Structure 1
Amino acid sequence: MKALIVKFGQIGDVIMAIPAIHALHEKGFEVHWVCGKSVKPLLECYSWITPITTDDKGILFGKPVDRIRGILKLWREILFRRFDLCVTLYYDQRYRLLTLPAWAKHRISLSTQLRFTNLIAGRHHTDEYARIVLGIDDSCREQSAPPVSPDRLPPSPLPEKTALRRIVIVPGGVQHLVREQATGHLPAQTLRRWPIENFVELARNLADRNCEVVLLGGPGDEWIRPYFNDITAIDCIGTLSLPEVVSMCSASDAVVTHDTGPLHLAGLSNACLVGIFGPTDPATRVPRRPYTLGIWGGQGFACRPCYDGREFAPCTFNGCMHQVTPELVLEQIDILLSAKSRGVEILWRTITPESNLIPVTSVKQSERRN
């Protein structure tokens, strides 16, 4: 049996879809995945996935001639090919055009018209993709399987550790491609970011403990470097491929990031993971595997969460992210590392900063004074 999967998406969306597609593979399906150039290197690390690369940015945001060229190129790849199942993990019906030349016995695509094909708000996307793709009844059932790690990763690009602990921090990231192209600015980029000053303070505290600090980010994150000029750190900003990020995380002890692609890449590793959330609910996104923690800032805020599945609120100050302190993050890193070193398994969980809470109005006034 053959399955054709269409999912370009952000890194996190692709990774959260992999467990459902892996379940198809275990049922005997040969998996062919239409993906963008950015996630192809990661999907190639799964021996059971055959990527079909397309120019997703050109198709979505290019000039009309670029869109047509990209679609025709994909059509040539799948023309007259036969599949037992075609899964298009998008709501927009225009995505169905991408697989038009392929012959499929059964087709599935997302739709808001039917509950069966609608991603239910408030649920983890991994669960929902599995429910829709595998045809699971929407009744009482256990939560989804953990992330499926690649079975053929490159070696870690980092040298051997020179300290007892190696901690990776991700101060940048958080891109929202659709909003960027549509409006020319990135509200999600600032709303979901933990303040850079908090990352700097955390890095200083880790360095004072003689921990090895690693800066991780993409090619567009060069702006964070000056903030860490006086802190000894290994700079991996814009230098690693997606598979190398997973390998590097596995060669580290812990990763600290906000809600961005590296959060999900780190979820494929075996490092302890602390994710910092505010506008989005960590219970719907945090990788579900041991030694993973989501800290949800904004306790007491009526506006939390502000992401409705499509848009973020027109927020002028993300006080929810400011509520999470470096001290709390450091404390949780210690708890995870201590438990792992003693062989005590801690299942994934989410917490809120219950102590030292600051009302949103006070946070805003303090920020204005500064």
Structure 2
Amino acid sequence: MLFPGRLTVTPLMDMEKEKILIIKHGALGDFVLSVGTMCHIREMHPEASLSLMTMSPFVAMARQMNMFDEYIIDNRPSAWNLPYMFKVLAKIARGKFSHIYDLQASSRTRYRYYPLLRWMMPRSFVWVNYRKGVEYKIEKKCPVGIGAQHRNGIHAPFKISDLTFLKGEGKHFDALPERYVLLIPGCSPNHPYKRWPIENFQELVCRLADRGIHSVVIGTDIEAEEVNAIAGASPMAVNMLNKTSLLDVPQLAMRAIACVGNDTGPSHMASLSGCFAIALYDNRTKQGALRGANSVNLISPDLITKITVDQVWETLLPKLDEGLQEA
């Protein structure tokens, strides 16, 4: 029986909306491969408030997913920058998250962020350590002195990302030829071994031109040498150096007959936009191969230079003929 004038108070935790945090920094290729998994997490928590901790270059892409309520920026400075790290962790602790999905699963997140958050978080939480897109390992915070509880073997299917929703400004799209092959000759400057030789791309451009097909070559300043040299190999090559953003790549790929690129984020984006994409790898490739339904991964048994233009051309040719018949 309620006494007159006394309020019935519902505990605050019952009123609060569940709050979920996803951690995914990068690199670009890894981030785009995680988009499908992020959508899967949303399906698992349909009513929750979802936050993303990522690097600043990926926020614009994440906003187009229309899925996140908040962003925590972590640009991963030096491990010795302790004030920055604690500032980031304090934002997480204030977030009062019930679940934290660590899609990065790096030494930074596993061995620094997680142990510190176990002490900083004001309430119990579930930490999901996601590895290789298959296995979840859950560690739940317990009262001090009891230690973590572990539950292993919780599986979730790897979700292929669909990036067709991404749209950039497309400032130079009107100048694009009707039929073209998209070429992505760059990659991280820290991994020059991932770059197929410039002269091979140049020969590919000339072969395409002989069949009346344009090439569209994209890249930024760090690939300027490659882009300029390849686009200069034929009048039918279009130089798009610094004329596209990351958000433009899916739409560029969807318009293309096919795409040929190195092991780099834009190649993954093209592949996950439904484009017929050929990726070129040396023998150090492990988990980085393209995963789009129409993708072909050419992996050298040795250096990437061992992949010949003939191999790429033979893989590409059926798609060119198919496009010609459709035209």
Structure 1 length-normalised TM: 0.67
Query: 1:68 and 2:83 equivalent?
Result: yes
1:22 aligns with 2:42: no
Shift of 1:216: 1.3
Indicate if the aligned counterparts of 2:179 and 2:256 stay in contact, CA closer than 8 A.
Answer: yes
Determine the structure 1 residue equivalent to 2:113.
95
Alignment of 1:242-253 (within 5 A): 242-253=246-257
| 1:165-244 equivalence runs, <5 A | 165-175=179-189, 186=190, 189-228=191-230, 229-232=232-235, 233-244=237-248
Contact 1:156/1:251 (<8 A) preserved = no
1:37 matched to 2:37? The reply is: no
SS at match of 2:34: helix
The verdict on how the C-alpha distance between 1:338 and 1:23 changes in structure 2, with shifts beyond 3 A counting, is: farther
Matched, 1:294 2:297: yes
1:105 to 125, 130, 140: 125
* Residue number in structure 2 paired with 1:146: 160
Aligned to 2:12: none
Q: Is this contact kept in 2: 1:258–1:275, CA < 8 A?
A: yes
Post-superposition offset of 1:101 = 5.0
Q: Counterpart amino acid of 2:259? A: V
> Residue 303 of structure 2 aligns to a residue in which SS?
helix
Partners of 1:70 and 1:53 in 2: CA distance:
12
CA distance in 1, matches of 2:69, 2:284: 32
Describe the superposition over 1:277-300 as per-residue Cα deviations: whole angstroms up to 9, x where unpaired: 113346x333333221001112xx
Offset at residue 329 of structure 1 (A): 0.9
Find the counterpart in structure 2 of residue 272 from structure 1. 276
Residue identity opposite 1:236 in structure 2? M
Distance 1:162 1:148, change over 3 A: closer
Shift of 1:338: 4.7
Q: 1:223 to 1:328 in 2, by over 3 A?
A: same
Is the Cα–Cα contact under 8 Å of residues 206 and 212 in structure 1 kept in the other structure?
yes
The 1:95–1:267 alpha-carbon spacing in structure 2 relative to 1, beyond 3 Å, is: farther
Structure 1 position 322, deviation (Å): 1.6
Partners of 2:98 and 2:305 lie apart in 1 by: 49
Q: Give every structure 1 segment of 4 or more consecutive aligned residues whose post-TM-superposition deviation is greater than 6 Å.
A: 133-136, 340-343
Q: Percent identity?
A: 18
Q: Indicate if the aligned counterparts of 1:192 and 1:279 stay in contact, CA closer than 8 A.
A: no
Relative distance call for 1:103 and 1:56 in structure 2 (3 A) is: farther
Aligned to 2:7: none
Question: How big is the alpha-carbon RMSD for the aligned residues of Structure 1 and Structure 2?
Answer: 3.2
The DSSP-based 3-state class of the residue aligned with 2:125 is: strand
SS at match of 1:231: coil
Please, which runs of 5 or more residues in structure 2 have no aligned partner?
1-17, 139-150
State the secondary structure of the residue aligned to 1:56.
coil
Residue 56 of structure 1 deviates from its aligned partner by 0.9
Q: After the TM superposition, which residues 260-339 of structure 1 pair with which residues of structure 2 at under 5 Å, given as runs? A: 260-281=264-285, 284-298=287-301, 319-338=302-321
Find the aligned partners of 2:116 and 2:67 in 1 and give their Cα distance: 22
The 3-state SS of whatever aligns with 2:57 is coil
Residue 56 of structure 1: aligned partner: 75
Give the direction of change, closer, same or farther, for the CA distance of 1:49–1:104 in structure 2 (3 Å limit).
farther
Aligned-pair CA distance for 1:206? 1.2
| Structure 1 residue matching 2:240: 3-state secondary structure | strand
Out of 76, 85, 96, the position equivalent to 1:82 is: 96
> What SS does the corresponding residue of 1:201 show, helix, strand or coil?
helix
Instruction: Give the drift of 1:248.
Output: 1.7
Verify the 8 A CA contact 2:136 2:152 in the aligned structure 1: yes
8 Å CA contact 2:182, 2:216 repeated in 1: yes
Residue 71 of structure 2 aligns to which amino acid in structure 1? I
